[in-house]
Amino acid sequence: MFKMINNRLQSVCIRFTHSIMHIIILSLIISSITLSCAFADPMLGSQTVDATGNVGKYTSLALDSNGYPHICYLDVSNIDLKYAKWTGSAWVIQTVDQQGDVGSWPCIALDSNDLPCISYQDSTNSDLKYAKWNGASWDIQVVDSIGKVGMYTSLVLDEDDYPSISYQDYTDYDQKIARWSGTSWDIRTVESSGNVGYYSVIDLDSNDYPCIIYQDISNGALKYAKWTGSNWNIQIIDTTGKVGNTPSLILDNQGIPHVSYFDGNNDDLKYATQAGSTWTVQTIDSAGRVGMYSSLALDLEENPIISYFDSGNGDLKLAKWSGSNWGIQLLDSITNTGMYSSIAVYTDGMIGISYHDYENGDLRYLKITEPTPVSTNLRVNVEDSNMNPVSGAAVISSIQPTGQPALSGITGADGSVTFPDILPGSITLQVSKTNYETNTASLNIEIGENAEITVSIIETPSKGELLINVKNKEGAPLEAVIVTSTSQPSGQTPLSGSTNNEGAVSFKDLLPGSYTISASKTGYTTDTSQLTVSVGKSNDFSLVLEVPASSSEGGIPGFSLIAIQLGLILATIRLILRRK
């Protein structure tokens, strides 16, 4: 009985132990999943922030000290100013101002306590307004209400958290700035000559002096105005026509301005920076109609990164300077998405972008790691006129997209050469090789699509041919005439041949130059002539051999008359002697 009870107790203990082990293993699995979820970044990738009505126009983005994004934007359906904040687990959305038609051209900045501040236009009253979150509610002020003002606002905070706002006075089409002094707004005109002030963007230098870019419609220029402490120093960045639409500005740690903008003449994305007093302008992307709604930030190495809209394809794209060239990446290709983008860089180098999905009328947010631009390779095949591969051909680019280093390579045994990491745009290639005619070809490189082109080059002959026709003086061809060269160009083997039954002999693969040709045949005079062989063609010459003059007076061909006469005399004497 005791043994049976003991066995039952052991069985219970074993089952209990197994159950405990299962519980422990299950707990470890759950803990592992929980930890994985805890460490996963829910922000990575693209997500919809607000899909209530038609929202997300004129987005503006800022990251707080926790790396949480804050976005202000226009609710088009209700013509309200809205604000979205990521809490770490969810988006919290508020309506900032709904008094009339408000919220166009908003711009957000965070103060030293991560509290959002927003500049925007009140379109109903044509006023410039400013809203600041006090921790519990929005404090809203009218900054400027004189005339029609508040278009194209841009906001920045100084080291005291005092706001500076650039904007357009569209009563007189002037560029203006409003700065908070601590007690009131100080409003000044930056420039009033012509039709100026479109798409203004502001930043502050190390002295908290404002720097502003804006479009000058009158002169088709993009301008840069910098406060010196006593006046405005206004410079022209680009004046090639319809340039400067929807630009972006940021100053690096050395105070050097970096600018992205749309070139409306060529439908290109452009980038400009200043070295000393000189502006350097580059075309970044020229593949189609690209570059609208650009937003510019600097990565951890202060290399520029630009988000922008490809309106030809309705895509959101990204351009990044690697330190030596521009790489371009397609970020979102949903139909008509990527308008009004705003970009910011996280402290770990990741990138955040807010943008408008026009197709669905949504506000979207994208977070990506340090981008690796799509690599576009270009393979160039070189062949001859018979479609055979040509190795050792030099391939260079004479025209390439701005920012793309010139291409230079040599074809291998298969007649091809591949160039990696090619920027999108138009490229013109030049292919050459000794003894071949140089040829050029052009193609357009599309982003992310490997390209291939075949270029034909025609061999240019380096040698010539020689055809010798030998005749007698009556014009009949002479067979078995020995034709040789007694002098020829250096490196050329002496010629030697015999005419055929048509009186002709040919020599091929001859070095160009002067030859001395001799033609001889028994019973004929020898003819010697100076001939010139040219490259790439057959050089035809005729030679005439004559019977010597003594042979032409009669007798037997090949024997002189005196020899015949002497022979006859000897034969006669021999005959007489025999008779005796």
Neighbours of 178 (CB within 10 A): 22
Neighbours of 544 (CB within 10 A): 17
pLDDT at 276: 86
Phi and psi, residue 62, nearest 5°: -145, 145
Tokens of 161: 């958290």
pLDDT at 26: 36
Per-residue pLDDT for the chain (580 aa), expressed as one digit of tens each? 333 334 433 443 334 344 444 443 334 433 443 434 444 577 788 999 999 999 999 999 999 999 999 999 999 999 999 999 999 999 999 999 999 999 999 999 999 999 999 999 999 999 999 999 999 999 999 999 999 999 999 999 999 999 999 999 999 999 999 999 999 999 999 999 999 999 999 999 999 999 999 999 999 999 999 999 999 999 999 998 899 999 999 999 999 999 999 999 999 999 999 988 899 999 998 888 999 999 999 999 999 999 999 999 999 999 999 887 888 888 998 888 999 999 999 999 999 999 999 999 999 999 998 655 555 789 999 999 889 999 999 999 999 887 678 999 999 988 999 898 787 788 999 999 988 999 999 998 876 677 899 999 998 877 889 999 999 989 999 999 999 999 999 989 999 999 999 999 999 989 899 999 999 999 999 999 999 998 877 788 999 999 886 544 445 555 555 666 677 777 777 777 776 5
Phi and psi, residue 538, nearest 5°: -90, 125
Residues 421 and 403: beta-carbon distance below 8 Å: no
pLDDT at 140: 98
Tokens of 418: 């591949």
d(CA 425, CA 284) in angstroms, rounded, equals 9
d(CA 43, CA 53) in angstroms, rounded, equals 23
Q: Which amino acid is at 101?
A: D
CA angle, residues 448, 450, 456, in degrees to nearest 5: 150
Tokens of 474: 């009556």
pLDDT at 337: 93
pLDDT at 425: 82
Residues 186 and 138: beta-carbon distance below 8 Å: no
pLDDT at 568: 74
pLDDT at 2: 34
Residues 362 and 340: beta-carbon distance below 8 Å: no
d(CA 387, CA 378) in angstroms, rounded, equals 20
Residues 131 and 139: beta-carbon distance below 8 Å: yes
Q: Among 133, 186, 203, 195, which Cα is nearest to 168's? A: 195
Neighbours of 67 (CB within 10 A): 17
User: What DSSP state is assigned to residue 351?
Assistant: E
d(CA 286, CA 57) in angstroms, rounded, equals 25
Cα 104 to its chain centre, rounded Å, is: 34
pLDDT at 36: 40
| 3-class secondary structure, 257 | strand
Phi and psi, residue 236, nearest 5°: -100, 125
Tokens of 251: 């100053």
User: What DSSP state is assigned to residue 546?
Assistant: -
pLDDT at 359: 93
Which class for 434: exposed (0-12), middle (13-18), buried (19 or more C-beta within 10 A)?
A: exposed
Residues 365 and 353: beta-carbon distance below 8 Å: yes
Sign of CA dihedral 76, 80, 86, 92: negative
pLDDT at 463: 84
Radius of gyration of the chain (CA): 44
